[in-house]
Amino acid sequence: MPRILTSICLATLLVVVSASTSGAGQYHFQYQKIFETGPNAQLDLSYFSGNVRVVSGMTDQIIVEATKTVDAVDQSEAELVADHVEIKSTQAGESVRIQTNYLQMRNKSSSFWKKLLGIGGSDSNGRVDWEIQVPINCQIMVSNTEGLIDISDIHGQVSVKSRSGSMVISRVFGPVTISSSYSDIQLNELEGGLDVSCTSGRLTGELLFGPVTVQQAEGSIELKFVEGDVRISSNSANIDIRQDRGSLDLATSNGSVNIFTNLDSSKDFFVETESGNINLTIPGTSSGNLRILSQTGEIKTDIPISIQRMSRKQVEGSFGVGGVEVNLISITGDVAVAQF
């Protein structure tokens, strides 16, 4: 949690706090600022590279502590570079916007800034790391290019955009929206709905309350203890779902799908793959109408079914007293239904 600053007014502090004894090395510059907002604050943070941690506090303030990290040949160059990594903040009522700008330096080419920002290399110079405390009901928007985004204990809407890096979002009571290209995303105890759009990565979630929508082309998706409708669209991601309540609408091309669900919904269940296998596990006491279709894969069911139509490629029938429609379709993959 960020340190509580002793300044009464809004304060900004920029100081070199460490460097190598030989001159050349890594230099750190501190930035601190307090915003008086009120209980219904809004935070909009936009930056290029670095880690951010946002947590709720007991005050109606947004307290920002940032660290600029610069690799330079000496302190003088480090200070020059740090001065051109601008942290700009504006406030309008209870809304606070913070962004980093990389100002043009005289006699410095674009390749200098590429090196400074670590573009095309292993360096990560010119990064800014953040520790931010916000009111518990704060609405949060974070946008970066790379780095860890860690948000927890918020009772408000959370929106995150990132090109790459990782995310940890925990104990949020409000809708969560995530957009990323390549990220590992970990979600814990979310209530209010989840919407994820990601090109590739590893998505894991546990204790998710509310509807879940995921669009992810590749990687893996693992969601446990979901209470809400789940809607997933993918090309080749492997999908593992444990659902306590809600319906399912899953579509993937060649990823495998493993589902453990209580089948507790008045809405229909639909799972479709092209070449991936489908494994569905449902309670032995559940009821519904089952339709399984596989053009070339194997069809297997361990639950008692009253058969209405059956062939090598298709099985249709009811189990229990009938009810919701359960559709499992794969072109070349195997389809299996088991009970617990």
Note the pLDDT tens digit of each residue in 95-115: 999 999 877 655 554 445 454
pLDDT confidence band for 306 (50 / 70 / 90): very high
Q: Which residue has the tokens 């600029």?
A: 68
The whole-number average pLDDT for the span 136-145 is: 96
The whole-number average pLDDT for the span 114-128 is: 51
Average pLDDT, rounded, for the chain = 87
Q: Tell me, what DSSP letter sits at residue 114? A: H
Between 96-100, 152-156, 200-204, 306-310, the lowest mean confidence (pLDDT) is in 306-310
pLDDT confidence band for 265 (50 / 70 / 90): very high
Q: Cα separation of 260 and 247, whole Å?
A: 12
Cα-flanking dihedrals φ and ψ of residue 77, to 5°?
A: -65, -40
Between 23-27, 104-108, 130-134, 220-224, the lowest mean confidence (pLDDT) is in 104-108
Sort 228 into a burial class: Cβ within 10 Å, 0-12 / 13-18 / 19+: buried
Q: Which two tokens stand for residue 109?
A: 């080419």
pLDDT confidence band for 1 (50 / 70 / 90): very low
Residue 105 confidence (pLDDT): 54
Q: Cα separation of 82 and 65, whole Å?
A: 16
pLDDT confidence band for 80 (50 / 70 / 90): confident
The whole-number average pLDDT for the span 174-180 is: 97
Highest mean pLDDT among 44-53, 74-83, 303-312: 44-53
pLDDT confidence band for 11 (50 / 70 / 90): very low
Q: Cα separation of 118 and 138, whole Å?
A: 32
Coil/strand/helix, residue 85: strand
Residue 260 confidence (pLDDT): 97
The whole-number average pLDDT for the span 314-325 is: 94
Q: Cα separation of 87 and 128, whole Å?
A: 9
pLDDT tens per residue, range 17-52? 444 444 568 889 999 999 999 999 999 999 988 999
The domains of the chain are located at 1-145
Q: Long-range CB contacts (< 8 A, 24+ apart) of 283-286?
A: 283/339, 283/340, 284/339, 284/340, 285/320, 286/262, 286/319, 286/320
Residue 249 confidence (pLDDT): 97
What's at 167, amino acid-wise? M
The whole-number average pLDDT for the span 260-264 is: 95
pLDDT confidence band for 55 (50 / 70 / 90): very high
Cα-flanking dihedrals φ and ψ of residue 113, to 5°?
A: -70, -30
- Please state the pTM of the whole predicted model: 0.85
